[in-house]
Structure 1
Amino acid sequence: MRRAVVLGSGSALPDRIVTNEELSQRVETSDAWIRERTGISERRVAAEGELTSDLAARAARAALKDADLTPEDIDLVIVATATPDLTFPSTAAFVQAKLGIKKGAAFDVAAVCTGFVYALSTANAFLSTGQHNRALVIGAETFSRIVDWEDRGTCVLFGDGAGAFVLEAQDTEERGLLGSVLRCDGSMTSLLYVDGGPSATGTTGHLRMEGNKVFKEAVGRIASAMVEASEAAGVGLSEIDWFVPHQANQRIIAGVVKKLELDPAHVVSTIARHGNTSAASIPLAYDEARRDGRIRDGDLVMIEGMGGGLTWGAALFRA
């Protein structure tokens, strides 16, 4: 069976750290208020002139090094992002150019916080059919550019960063992507969106969110997708070695863990130091757990996300 196998991972974070204390100087909030409601202590913010494609390319180079490959080995680049460099061309095109890749396809996937799950599943479809051989799948965001820094309900949540996987098509029944589930309910767009765009307003706009309503939708939808993904793979949830969730809110992560009776000791959480980096959060967290030795070759890993659209989904793979 031809599957997309993860050969390597990499990540990139901006240098600047913005603490809760610093935010409390800008909006009416406090470190205790943010920690209690989100689990976030700090987040990274891109420097002036530091683009989404810059972070994406850095993460991609790290992933290629981890996989012991070069850009010449890649024939597919997919970038999951809600904060592209420009309206067009795609951020993936810029990344392809920065890496010096001259062959294959490059395009973006727009599913916000579920973007990396969508991108991984899309890459698997291309690789499993033989259309492409090796892919870079990248989640990269500069949400600091679309956050309203006067809205304490959103500005405390988000951060910037990028994470990347190198995937290779292999004939195997042991490793690779085993199952995935992608979902969207477009009737709920008003819960989480950006109030600007080329066609609607001719502006970039700012992120808007009905946080309480999103929270109420999150746990049930995420848990359901995880169950479906595990069933599609023929694997029980109890067999999963590591749960690497989208880092949206520590309370949401805890809610999913409790609902599915997962082992909290096998949950990877980076939200305290990264905040919500949208499409970048899953590969950022995965890469950290790989580098510190928690996730090892052969481990079963479940990822999930939920974002604007509303989109949500989950995927199960063997590292």
Structure 2
Amino acid sequence: MPGLMQAAGPALRILGSGCHHPARRLPSSDFDTQLGLAPGTSEAATGVAWRGVADTGETASWMAARAAQAALSAAGIGGDALDAIVSTCAVMEQPIPCQAALVQRALGLGDSGIPAFDVNATCLGFLVALDLVAAGIASGRYRRVLVVASELPSRGLRADDPLTAPLFGDGAAALVLGAAAPGEDSALLAWRMETYADSADACRIRGGGTRIAPGDPTHRDIDPDVYRFEMDGPATFRLAGRRLPRLLERLLASAGVGLDAIDCVVPHQASGGGLDRIVRALRLPEARVVRILAEHGNQVAASLPHALHHAIVEGRLQRGQTCLLLGTGAGLSLAGAVLRY
């Protein structure tokens, strides 16, 4: 069976959360003008009205550090109290070193020795990190771990693509995770991930790695768009619609709860149409579904932790309540978690 964690999982607790919004905000109407579309077309197609766009000085690691500082403040601890720093970005600021190391330095902890490493599962990075950190905390290896996602998709989109250019937004989110203290019932009740790599080409960036490397003379005349994001939206949605219901059924069974016991649903903010289809296909309680897509766009790996942070600060998820985290990512992968906050 694909990756599965049984109920009564690790006593994991979210100690604090934070986010960073880029200084500049771009309306979808700008894309209508640039692409020669009728007013309102981009927003109708994507579900996004506004998104953040990072300025030159807002690097991924700098934005991550800002979100991390907010999460540490909410947790009431300093960075020197961390046992690990995990970055869950889909596209790093640079190939080497890992982005977590750059975040550590941006936090002023560059001489701390705190372990720092990346987890890359594209849009599902936070969910994968959640499972890994929970296991580390349960084993006693960690006490407090910073998980951060910081993305600048605006740097890797085709400006002439009406489906992706208006969809994505820059931003960062962070959470401090720790062990629940005696008497606290916070826990990761269940976790599940499935990957169907026959559809790996549905979401991809072909260039930039060792197969199509920048500067390689054998690729001198290659189309520069090979280094930009490509997505077959219909194929992705078809796979999600076919596979997610069964994944959700198994996930809830593992957690020992029914959908009616879920107080808050935090999905990956993929697109307006994608969110609508998932809500209908899975019969999710619409009033409990957290949506921040219209104001921020699809923030890739930062999407899920940002939406979770929003649910916490807005009071939509309160202590003792149960939250369903759910999403899809390149791979193609699907994943979910049931968390008692």
TM-score range, shorter chain: over 0.9
Supply the distance in 1 between the matched residues of 2:171 and 2:250 (Cα, whole angstroms). Answer: 29
Contact 2:244-2:282 at 8 Å conserved across structures = no
Who is 1:274 aligned against? Answer: 296
Identity of counterpart residues, as a percentage?
Answer: 34
Supply the distance in 1 between the matched residues of 2:103 and 2:210 (Cα, whole angstroms). Answer: 25
CA 1:224/1:103 → structure 2, altered by over 3 Å: closer, same or farther? farther
Supply the distance in 1 between the matched residues of 2:244 and 2:210 (Cα, whole angstroms). Answer: 31
Who is 2:231 aligned against? Answer: 209
Supply the distance in 2 between the matched residues of 1:23 and 1:256 (Cα, whole angstroms). Answer: 26
Contact 1:21-1:30 at 8 Å conserved across structures = no
Q: Which amino acid aligns with 1:60?
A: A
Who is 1:187 aligned against? Answer: 198
Map Cα deviations across residues 68-110 of structure 1 (whole Å, 9 max, x no partner): 1110111111111112111011111111122234143211111
Contact 1:31-1:41 at 8 Å conserved across structures = no
Match of 1:197 among 189, 205, 208: 208
Who is 2:267 aligned against? Answer: 245
Structure 2 unpaired stretches of 5+: 1-8, 215-225
Deviation larger for 265-274 or 220-229: 220-229
| Alpha-carbon offset, residue 115 of structure 1 | 1.3
Map Cα deviations across residues 124-164 of structure 1 (whole Å, 9 max, x no partner): 12111111111111122111111111222211111111111
Supply the distance in 1 between the matched residues of 2:244 and 2:17 (Cα, whole angstroms). Answer: 24
Supply the distance in 1 between the matched residues of 2:321 and 2:273 (Cα, whole angstroms). Answer: 25
Supply the distance in 1 between the matched residues of 2:186 and 2:124 (Cα, whole angstroms). Answer: 23
Who is 2:91 aligned against? Answer: 83
Contact 1:80-1:110 at 8 Å conserved across structures = yes
CA 1:25/1:34 → structure 2, altered by over 3 Å: closer, same or farther? closer
Supply the distance in 2 between the matched residues of 1:18 and 1:179 (Cα, whole angstroms). Answer: 38
1:307 aligns with 2:317: no
Contact 1:147-1:154 at 8 Å conserved across structures = yes
1:69 aligns with 2:77: yes
Q: SS in structure 2 opposite 1:89?
A: coil
| Alpha-carbon offset, residue 252 of structure 1 | 2.0
Q: Which amino acid aligns with 2:301?
A: A
Q: Which amino acid aligns with 1:182?
A: M
Q: Which structure has the bigger radius of gyration? A: 2
Match of 1:264 among 256, 263, 286: 286
Supply the distance in 1 between the matched residues of 2:239 and 2:36 (Cα, whole angstroms). Answer: 27
Structure holding more strand per residue: 1
Match of 2:13 among 5, 17, 34: 5
Contact 1:230-1:237 at 8 Å conserved across structures = yes
Contact 1:18-1:45 at 8 Å conserved across structures = yes
Match of 1:157 among 144, 151, 167: 167
Who is 2:188 aligned against? Answer: 177
Map Cα deviations across residues 170-218 of structure 1 (whole Å, 9 max, x no partner): 3668212111112212221110100212301223810011111112122
Supply the distance in 2 between the matched residues of 1:238 and 1:103 (Cα, whole angstroms). Answer: 45
| Alpha-carbon offset, residue 38 of structure 1 | 2.3
Who is 2:6 aligned against? Answer: none
1:112 aligns with 2:117: no
Structure 1 unpaired stretches of 5+: none
- Using the size of structure 1 for normalisation, the TM-score is 0.94
Supply the distance in 1 between the matched residues of 2:228 and 2:37 (Cα, whole angstroms). Answer: 20
| Alpha-carbon offset, residue 228 of structure 1 | 2.3
Who is 1:285 aligned against? Answer: 307
Q: Which amino acid aligns with 1:45?
A: V
- Using the size of structure 2 for normalisation, the TM-score is 0.89
1:14 aligns with 2:9: no
Q: Which amino acid aligns with 2:262?
A: I
Q: SS in structure 2 opposite 1:154?
A: coil
Contact 2:46-2:163 at 8 Å conserved across structures = no
| Alpha-carbon offset, residue 2 of structure 1 | 4.4
Map Cα deviations across residues 279-319 of structure 1 (whole Å, 9 max, x no partner): 10111112122222222111111111211111220011111
Contact 2:10-2:134 at 8 Å conserved across structures = no
Who is 2:219 aligned against? Answer: none
Map Cα deviations across residues 257-294 of structure 1 (whole Å, 9 max, x no partner): 22332221111000001110011011111212222222
